[in-house]
Structures are given as C-alpha cells and as structure tokens.
Structure 1
Amino acid sequence: MTSLNRLEDRRVPTTPSPLGRYERQRLTWEICLVLAVSVGQSALYSSLSLVRRLLAPIPLGAQQTQVNPSQDAQALWDIVYQLLSVFFALAVVALVIYLLWEPGNSALRRIGLDFSRFGGDLGRGILLAAMIGIPGLALYAAGRALGITVAVVASPLDAAWWTIPLLVLSALRAGLTEEVIFIAYLFDRLRRLGWNWWAIILSTAALRGAYHAYQGIGAIVGNFAMGVVFGWCYKRWGRVMPLVIAHTLLDIVAFVGYPVAAALWPGVFAPPTTPTPSPTPTP
C-alpha cells in the first residue's frame, strides 16, 4: 500500500452504506438520546441562560459567569466533587465511544483517538490551538468592550495546591467531551444518515455555539467559528486527537493563566463587582 493510500484510509469515510427505514429511525433516536444526556442538554440550558441574562435589568457586559466554580467550601469535599464531576462527564464520552464501536473495527482507531500518530497529532494540535487561541482572545476582548460578552471567570483567583491539577483535568474533560461528541460521534452518525459534509460541519458548529451561549453573544460567534475550523480539519485529517489536544491546551492556558490575566488586564478579565442572577449551566 502506498503512502497516499494509507493517508486516504485515515480520512473520514465519504460513502456511507445506505440504511433501511428501521436503521435510520434507530440511529435518529440514538442521536437524540445522546444529545439529551450530554452536549444537547447543556446547549439548551446555556441558551436559556443567555435569554435570562438578556432579560435581566443588568447589562450583559456587567454580568459574569464561572466556568470552574468551587463545589464545596471544605477543601476535601470540593476535591471529591470535582473529581466525580470529571469522572461522570468522561463516562458519557466512554458511552459514545462504545456506541461507535463495531465488531472487528475499533472506534478509537476509526475516529483517530489513539496514539498511533501522536507526534503529528501533537504538532497539529499545537498549531490549531495557536490559530484559534489568539483570535479567540481578541474576540473576547472585543466582546467585552462592546458589552455583548459576559465576564468569564475561568478559575478561582485564590488558588490552592490542588487547583491546577483539577483545572488540567477539567480542560481534558472539556476537550474530550466536546470533540468526541460534537465532532467524532455526530460526524459519524449524521454522515450515516446521508447528511452532506457542510451541513454536518455547520450544524455541529451551531450546536457548539449554543453550548457556550451562557457566556454571551461573542462566545457564540467565536465557538461557531471554532466548530467550522475543527469540523473541516476532522474531515480532512480523519482524526479527532489533534482537536482534543488543541481544545485541551486552549482550556489549560485559559484556566491556569486566568489569575495572571485578571491581574494584568482587570478591565477585560477581572469579574465585575455587580452580582449576576444567571447560573452557569452544567456541562
């Protein structure tokens, strides 16, 4: 087999097998149920949170939201609850991978969530993180200046010794949850239902934007653009690992670097003193 053929074998299949009526109905129900217990549920709560924020007497730009809030005042129980939150989120990811599994065909290998090409995946992930992170930071600052993005408190300002490891785990959870479900799972299932590539890319990007709607209008635009780029990359590469790496790196930098950013640019990153009524939806 030539190197060109090997490259083509790694890409997402372009000619899905036709499905019968029963298989299409079953697959449609499966997609609905997966979304109802994972990112679709969060997208709905997030969209409702944005509506509530827009209806609040406080301007959107004067509100804030917390991404990684403490779950208990006592340190030990906070750690326990945070770890359980990560575990149960990753259990949903494992369920999705299980649904993608086929006899004699590893789902991890098929979606490219393995370490067979880790060097190349790492390089692509770092490049993607830089391409998305720098414009994303500028978009967030512009959104804050225009008053269409809420102040996102990415991590506690009073960090303890356990804070950074938990933030890294939270970043990994977000990377796996969003990329495995938004990209690998939905691309596979919607392609089997006969959707064309751009319909899949745009619809999953829109769902990703709704998933982050609680952060404001700027976050919807930024995450939609990120979804389009990530979807195009997945179609081209046929591997979700670079996307998971990029997403995880972006969140690690945002979470761990937030206290420094809040100190250096308080007008952009520091939370406003005005309390906000809208809760952050649970992922």
Structure 2
Amino acid sequence: MTLTRTRHRLALEIAIVLLLSLGASALWSLLQYIDVSTRPTPIGEQQVALNPARSDRAWLDLAYQLTGIVLDLVPVALVVWLLWRWRRPHLGALGIDGTRPWRDSASGAALVLVIGIPGLALYAAGRSLGLTVDVVPSPLDAHWFTVPVLLLSALRAGLTEEVIVIGYLFERLRRLGWSAWQIIVATSALRGMYHLYQGVPALIGNVAMGLLFGWLYQRTGRLLPLIIAHTLIDVAVFVGYPWAYATFPGLFGG
C-alpha cells in the first residue's frame, strides 16, 4: 500500500470516527448557536437544559438515559479496537497503561482545580455579560437513579472526549505528519466547537482547556490523568451545579 493511499485511508477513518462522535456534536452545537444567536431574545435570556429527563415515566427515563450512555461509548470502543495492540501495553497508543494509577489520579485531581475554578469564573462572567445561555440543570431528587446516572454521564463524557479528542486524534494526526502544535490547536478548536451551544465564553474556556490538556499529553503521554480530571469536573457540573443552582438561584440566574 502506497504512502498516499495510507494517508487517504487514515484521513477517511478520522472523518468517520468524528462524524460518529464529537465531530457530529460540533456540527449540532454550531447549528444550536446559530439558532439562539439569531432569535429576538438575547442569548443571556435563553435557557438550555442540562441532562434533561427523557420521559415522564421513571423506568422509561432510566432506560433512555442508560441506552444513551452506552451508545455514546460505542465510538470509544471503536477507537480502542482501532488502536489496540496485541502486546502489552494494549492501549499504549492511547497513552493508557495502568502502571501508575495513584500518580495519575493525583495529577487528575490537581487538574480539576486548575480547570474548574477558572471555568466557573468564566461561566459567571459570561452570564453577567449576557453572552452565555442559562444552563438549567435537572433536579437531583427527580428519581432514585438520578445521581448514579449523572455520575455515569460524567464518566461517559470524560472517556469520550479524552480518548477520542486527545488519545485517538493525537496518534492518527501524528501519523499524517502533523506537528505537535498543529494537533494541539486543532483538537482544542474541536473541543471548543462542540461546547459552542452554551455561548462564546464556553467555546473560549474549552479551547483553553484543550490547549492545556493537549500540551500536557504531548509532554507526558499520559491520558488517564486527563480522563480522571474531566470526569471529576463533570461530576461537579452535573451534581454540584444542580445543588448550587437550586440553593442560590439569584447567583445562577434561576
């Protein structure tokens, strides 16, 4: 197989993986932003639901939520299949080897503070300037399974975004001959785009997060700290934010 043909196959593979996952999310997010930004109502006065219920019947809502989580993880399984090595470490191409779980966990927890506090400040600034939609969370006491499902959703987000946007794209784009900073910037732009539905500040914040995560991955080759950090951040957003939103409605625009 010629080098040109190999490059074309890799580019096609990347397009398929992204259109099955976060590339599709970026397209939907762009359409949503066009929708909210062209309405008569200012963006700051509009709302978007965070983890909304899928049905008014509890058992069916649970079925919807779990099915959505499983289906969203299918592209992650595809990436694992594509990059699996028969020799250990099997997921070495993704920067996952499990050799230092405690150090990776500590690094991930430290990243939460670096990303989480500025992210909260950016959201508050966006709300005060009318540049960010009001993100309305679902109540934590809606059902007995609400919090467990939110925790699974946070893990789903951490796995999907970091495995695909960082681990997979870094490996494939390197093979296509992209430089480190070309990859970091491109993946950061993608991360920002699929958060654009919340407003421009969300795009900026997630691009900054992508630049930091991409730089760290380029230096360390470790993906687990990024997955852990992203999961913990989303646990705070999915579980902590609904509590704060209900407790301090004036602060969060509720």
Instruction: Within 5 Å, give how 1:58-77 maps onto structure 2.
Output: 58-77=41-60
2:191 aligned with 1:222? no
Determine the C-alpha separation between the residues in 1 that align with 2:146 and 2:118.
27
Distance 2:230 2:137 in 1: 15
2:150 counterpart residue number: 167
CA distance, structure 2, for counterparts of residue 108 and residue 77 of structure 1? 36
Aligned to 1:236: 219
Identity %: 54
TM-score, normalised to structure 2, is 0.95
Distance 1:61 1:268 in 2: 14
The answer as to whether partners of 1:136 and 1:222 remain within 8 angstroms in 2 is yes
**SS where residue 132 of structure 2 aligns?**
coil
How many residue pairs end up in the alignment?
253
CA gap 1:61/1:132 in 2 versus in 1, 3 angstroms: same
Residue 243 (structure 2) pairs with residue 260 (structure 1): yes
The reply to whether residue 209 of structure 1 matches residue 172 of structure 2 is no
Q: Shift in Å at residue 108 of structure 1?
A: 1.9
Distance in 1 (CA, whole Å) between partners of 2:138 and 2:238 is 5
CA deviations over 1:68-127 (Å, ceiling 9, x no partner): 111111000111111111111112101111111244364423323343211011000000
How far 1:266 sits from its partner (Å)?
1.7
Equivalent residue in structure 2 for 1:143, among 126, 140, 157? 126
Relative to structure 1, is the Cα distance of residues 108 and 101 closer, same or farther in structure 2, using a 3 angstrom cutoff? same
The alpha-carbon deviation at position 263 of structure 1 amounts to 3.1
Q: Is 1:129 matched up with 2:112?
A: yes
Equivalent residues of 1:184, 1:240 under 8 A apart: yes
Greater CA drift, 43-52 or 107-116? 107-116
What do residues 142-178 of structure 1 show as CA deviations (whole Å, max 9, x unaligned)?
A: 0000001111124335432211100000000000000
Cα distance in 2 for residues equivalent to 1:154 and 1:246: 21
The whole-number CA distance in structure 2 between the counterparts of 1:38 and 1:129 is 24
Confirm whether residue 116 of structure 1 aligns to residue 99 of structure 2: yes
Corresponding position of 2:172: 189
Q: C-alpha separation between the residues in 2 aligned to 1:189 and 1:105? A: 20
Give 1:179's aligned amino acid: E
2:182 and 2:248 map into 1 onto residues whose CA distance is 39
Deviation at residue 270 of structure 1 after TM alignment: 4.2
Distance in 1 between the 2:108 and 2:39 partners?
Answer: 39
After superposing the two structures, state which structure 1 stretch, 106-115 or 130-139, moved more.
106-115
CA contact (8 A) 1:155 1:258 kept: no
In 1, Cα distance between equivalents of 2:90 and 2:193: 27
> Is 1:91 aligned to residue 91 of structure 2?
no
The verdict on how the C-alpha distance between 1:197 and 1:154 changes in structure 2, with shifts beyond 3 A counting, is farther
Give the Cα–Cα distance (whole angstroms) in 1 for the partners of residues 62 and 14 of structure 2: 33
User: In structure 2, how many angstroms separate the alpha carbons of the residues matched to 1:237 and 1:231?
Assistant: 10
Please state whether the residue corresponding to 2:48 is helix, strand or coil. strand
Counterpart in 2 of 1:11? none
Alpha-carbon contact 2:45-2:133 (below 8 Å) kept: yes
Q: Deviations over 1:1-20 (max 9, x none)?
A: xxxxxxxxxxxxxxxxxx81
Of 140, 154, 163, the residue aligned with 1:180 is 163
Q: For residues 212-264 of structure 1, give each alpha carbon's deviation from its aligned partner in whole angstroms, at most 9, with x where no partner exists.
A: 01111110000000000000111111011100000000010111112321134
Structure 2, unaligned runs of 5 or more? none
What does the per-residue CA deviation read over 1:173-216, in whole Å, with 9 as the maximum and x for residues that have no partner? 00000000110000000011000011100110000000101111
Deviation of 1:36 (Å) = 0.8
Distance 1:155 1:258, change over 3 A: farther
Of 114, 139, 146, which aligns to 1:156? 139
Contact 1:97-1:107 at 8 Å conserved across structures = no
